[in-house]
Structure 1
């Protein structure tokens, strides 16, 4: 029991904490809400306590369990058997050893050879994700599972989906949408997976990922422009050449360290927490076009260091092929056109990258997506038609060329005339 000086009454702390249904025991909830102060009638206190099975004693037992540290959730979670801990440690150590070996050897985490004689074939798997609206009207996206398929043909995928739905007690008739990438086996108009599902359920409308459509459009535009195609090919070659070995990556890191130290000593850059972090050239990927902007950023930040590594490879390369490739990359990089394209594509891909990230948001709807597309189109239109934007790129290209002793064309109109 607890005594309240303010109310001059006693309360039952055990019953107050758990508040069960008292019934007729000891004046209902007097010992919980009102407080008991009839000091002449002490029998009701004993009646409230009751026998060993009374409500009060049940509440008291719950309070004892609450105060007992051995009953706490964290303690019970920690009480894992020694054998379970040992088994977990063995599995963890084995996984870490495998990861270290693969990283040290520069090997992939999964196989890539599906020939019959290959001993490490990779299973074809299909990930299934459900997207639905709950009772509160919230858009929910859940990863359901991974299904093993014999091959990636549309018929095989459809059979796997049917079996998965049956296993989970679901029906394709409840499906109201389906979304895949642009591969022919997925979105084919005659025998694609989306067509096979639409034959059974005409309401399962197919939607091609907006972000993937954007990437395909960018790839198509680049493929039609020879200068940009050569530019992105050069970025890929730079990544493969400079980051081809640990020795070259260490050389790039050392060159960048010395370069940053010189800038700090001259007061050209600031220092502080999170600034001047170690970085390397990011590898671009054609299937993930958004990765190219990361490559461009890293080349701009490491430009002088990359040039230094290429000069070392040109002289001390393992063979004439490495030396020749480094020499060719140096001729391309030490050119005003390449420097200008770095800053131009940084801006262009920056706009499209923001649009791509917006289109991939889980809570994105069609109206907002269309607005983002319009905003990006206006930004690109402004970039194309306003001279101030063009002058900004020229200024940045000039500054980088001066810092790296790259010749600047005297007559810009002859070299960079605008085209429609």
Structure 2
């Protein structure tokens, strides 16, 4: 009998022996050889956990600040061991409970400061942060916002953000990830987007909107990224970034209007004359201080906290026309100081420097320069507020259309006779204040630094009113109408019927039913039949509720429906509203990603690995979610990556 049993049991590597070993390990856990070696004592585990937590706290701080981890020399005798080790060393020097478990008081083979350990913890931080808002997306539909740019190492990068409606009914945009691409061909970009979505288990069938900056490889009607994605899902509607379109209108006006070209050319020359040396910058600052003191004595300006801050002249960016608005405002505010410095440089300097200042002085004192300076300030002021509003994260497409209409109405008011008179009075009073010659509008036009033969017999009124004032405004209006032709499509007209403004005055049942038909895969036939009845009940309900009286945007409407528990009562209406809110307005969040990337991957950190860069970006950009991730979850994920010396 014993022999038969021994034959059944077999050798030590037999199936019976392995099953017996697994059973024993099951009923008495933590008795394996690896566990016996790693477990040591409860005190050792506690010290290990404490050491790991302090390393994690240092990493959390550095990630939130977007700082570098390593130092050039991390040896014991180094005076600067890098941010991570210096921070840990500082904590050990100031807190006894930290000193007891880290650095010199930790085992040499388990100090938890190695670069590989740091990267593993960073990877866990990024994974948990991304999972935080991926869970927020859930089964909801979403839109993608993508843009490509090069980093500090001159590698092409594609940034991808998601736009969706969270559980509170608020439209939000979250950074999903950064992918390095070999080229910017539309097919390559599509594959990169798909791989990133699949990696995070986001179904492609849930995409309901796409937003890009308008580049040909993005919005091309034949082989563009927009076309390729719509082939897979016809309901993925494309919206050209509104903020980018508004910038393009300013670019076209500045490039095609000869007077605007002349003005910006003179503005660039002014910056060259004044901004080439520290001496001139200091002269400008001193002149501005003297002017402020004199203006305060005369009561022309008020004093107070935050007023009369020091200003300077910064060179505007080629693609950021909001920076042009800033330089125009700065020149207007610093006009008397700039004038004083130009005169001093032209009188005291020699050679080309004096010639440049004297030439600029003539232009700077001219009525034409001051007129265009005020005109650009008016145009930029109206359109810049529109651009800034478009870049808000809670902006919806219907409200953006209203902002566009409001901006065009303001330009129309400006071009009327009353607008011209008010504008001319403003320019005239500025000239009188600064002792400049005001031209007679009935007199002959005398060009500044331009040949007179091109303006022979021209009258000042025609040049300043028709060519400059009306010419620039009309061109601006024309470009706004041409660039934003999408707002006239049937899809966006139907969306406008959801607007809660003015007691839901734009509400239209037929348009909203037609809007639902644009999404055939989201509404069943039964839901389409019930939608008109639900819409009628919905509009009667919200119009009689004070909570919905002062709402202005779709985002406010959506959040109020959630807050008042009406989303179950009007589930079909709410589903349609979420599809409207998902459509992107601007790609500002994607461009913020590139700004953050240039901050994190700078010249000193230009050779960061792609995965490491992406993980640092996720935790830096989505700091709100990163702070909500618990240390215990990160440590659990870190321990599960591989076998550790200590099993917790």
CA distance in 2 between counterparts of 1:391 and 1:126 reads 49
Residue number in structure 1 paired with 2:369: 338
Q: What is the distance in 2 between the residues matched to 1:212 and 1:238?
A: 28
Moved over 6 A (4+): 76-81, 84-89
The structural deviation recorded for 1:317 is 5.5
Give the 3-state SS of the residue equivalent to 1:285 in structure 2. coil
Q: Distance in 2 between matches of 1:397 and 1:348?
A: 14
Distance 1:184 1:77, change over 3 A: same
SS of residue matched to 1:229:
helix
Paired residues for 1:223-302 under 5 Å: 223-302=255-334
Distance 1:80 1:156, change over 3 A: closer
Work out the number of aligned pairs and report it: 320
Deviation at 1:277, TM superposition (A): 0.7
Tell me, which stretches of 5 or more residues in structure 1 are unaligned? 1-75, 95-111, 115-119
Helix, strand or coil at the partner of 2:440: coil
CA deviation profile, 1:32-69 (whole Å, cap 9, x unmatched): xxxxxxxxxxxxxxxxxxxxxxxxxxxxxxxxxxxxxx
Which shows bigger deviation, 342-351 or 325-334? Answer: 325-334
Does the 8 A contact of 2:296 with 2:303 survive in 1? yes
8 Å Cα contact 1:340-1:393 kept in structure 2: no
CA distance in 2, matches of 1:132, 1:80: 31
Of structures 1 and 2, the one with the larger relative CO (CA 8 A, separation 6+) is 2
TM-superposed deviation, 1:113:
11
Superposition CA RMSD, Å? 3.2
Which moved further from structure 2: 253-262 or 356-365? 356-365
Counterpart mapping for 1:3-402 below 5 A: 90-92=81-83, 121-315=153-347, 320=352, 322-387=353-418, 389-402=419-432
Alpha-carbon shift at residue 282 of structure 1 (Å): 3.3
Give the Cα–Cα distance (whole angstroms) in 1 for the partners of residues 339 and 361 of structure 2. 7
Q: Give a deviation string over 1:58-90, Cα, whole Å, max 9, x none.
A: xxxxxxxxxxxxxxxxxx879968xx9997974
Could you say if the C-alpha distance between residues 337 and 257 of structure 1 is closer, same or farther in structure 2, counting changes exceeding 3 Å? same
TM-score normalised by length of structure 1:
0.68
Aligned to 1:108: none
Give the structure 1 partner of residue 42 of structure 2: none
Give the Cα separation in 1 of the matches to 2:394 and 2:182.
34
Secondary structure of the structure 1 residue equivalent to 2:177: strand
SS, match of residue 179 in structure 1: strand
| Cα distance in 1 for residues equivalent to 2:217 and 2:274 | 37
Tell me which residue corresponds to 1:416. 461
Residue 131 of structure 1: how far off its partner (Å)? 0.5
Matched position secondary structure for 1:125: strand
Match of 2:437 among 391, 398, 407: 407
Q: Which residues of structure 2 form unaligned runs of 5+?
A: 1-52, 63-68, 72-79, 86-148, 444-458, 471-648
Deviation at 1:152, TM superposition (A): 2.5
Residues 221 and 227, structure 2, Cα contact 8 Å, conserved in 1 = yes
Aligned mates of 1:378, 1:133 — CA distance in 2: 31
Shift of 1:339: 0.8
Closer/same/farther in 2, CA of residues 207 and 91 from structure 1, 3 Å limit: farther
Name the CA shift for 1:93/1:275 in 2 (closer, same or farther; >3 Å): farther
How far apart in 1 are the matches of 2:303 and 2:408? Answer: 37
Residue 313 to residue 126, structure 1, CA distance change in 2 (3 Å): farther
Is this contact kept in 1: 2:70–2:84, CA < 8 A? no
The question of whether the paired residues in 2 share the 8 Å contact of 1:236 and 1:284 is answered with: no
State the structure with more CA Rg: 1
Superposed displacement of residue 187, structure 1: 1.4
User: Aligned with 1:177: secondary structure?
Assistant: strand
8 A Cα contact 2:345 2:357, kept in partner: yes
Say which SS state the counterpart of residue 364 (structure 1) adopts.
Answer: coil
- In structure 2, how many angstroms separate the alpha carbons of the residues matched to 1:229 and 1:326? 20
Distance 1:318 1:173 in 2: 70
Post-superposition shift, 1:344? 2.2
Q: Which residue of 1 aligns with 2:123?
A: none
Please report the TM-score for the alignment, with normalisation by the length of structure 2. 0.45
